[in-house]
Chain A
Amino acid sequence: DAGITQSPRHKVTETGTPVTLRCHQTENHRYMYWYRQDPGHGLRLIHYSYGVKDTDKGEVSDGYSVSRSKTEDFLLTLESATSSQTSVYFCATTPRQDSYEQYFGPGTRLTVT
Chain B
Amino acid sequence: AQSVTQLDSQVPVFEEAPVELRCNYSSSVSVYLFWYVQYPNQGLQLLLKYLSGSTLVKGINGFEAEFNKSQTSFHLRKPSVHISDTAEYFCAVSDLSNFGNEKLTFGTGTRLTIIP
Q: Which chain A residues have a beta carbon within 8 Å of chain B's beta carbons?
A: 4, 31, 33, 35, 40-45, 48, 50, 56, 58, 90, 92, 94, 97, 99-102, 104-107
B94's nearest neighbour on chain A, judged by CB, is: A100
Residue of B44, B49, B51, B94 touching A104 (CB-CB under 8 A): B44
Residue of A40, A48, A105 touching B108 (CB-CB under 8 A): A40
Q: Which residues in B have their C-beta under 8 angstroms from that of A48? A: 103
**Are A97 and B103 in touch, CB under 8 angstroms?**
no
- What size tier do the contact residues of chain B reach? 20 to 34
Known: A50-B100, A97-B101, A100-B51. A44 touches B43 (CB 8 A): no
- Tell me the minimal C-beta distance from B113 to chain A in angstroms: 16
Whether, in the assembled complex, B83 has its beta carbon less than 8 Å from a beta carbon of chain A, the answer is no
**Are B49 and A100 in touch, CB under 8 angstroms?**
yes
A–B Cβ pairs within 8 angstroms, 12 of them: A40-B108, A42-B108, A44-B106, A45-B103, A50-B102, A94-B102, A99-B102, A100-B32, A101-B46, A104-B36, A106-B43, A107-B42
Q: Report how far A76 CA is from B51 CA in the complex, Å.
A: 31
Whether, in the assembled complex, B7 has its beta carbon less than 8 Å from a beta carbon of chain A, the answer is no
- Tell me the minimal C-beta distance from A68 to chain B in angstroms: 15
Q: Which residues in B have their C-beta under 8 angstroms from that of A94? A: 102
- Tell me the minimal C-beta distance from B53 to chain A in angstroms: 14
Known: A45-B103, A100-B49. A107 touches B43 (CB 8 A): yes
B90's nearest neighbour on chain A, judged by CB, is: A42
**Are B109 and A42 in touch, CB under 8 angstroms?**
yes
**Are B90 and A43 in touch, CB under 8 angstroms?**
yes
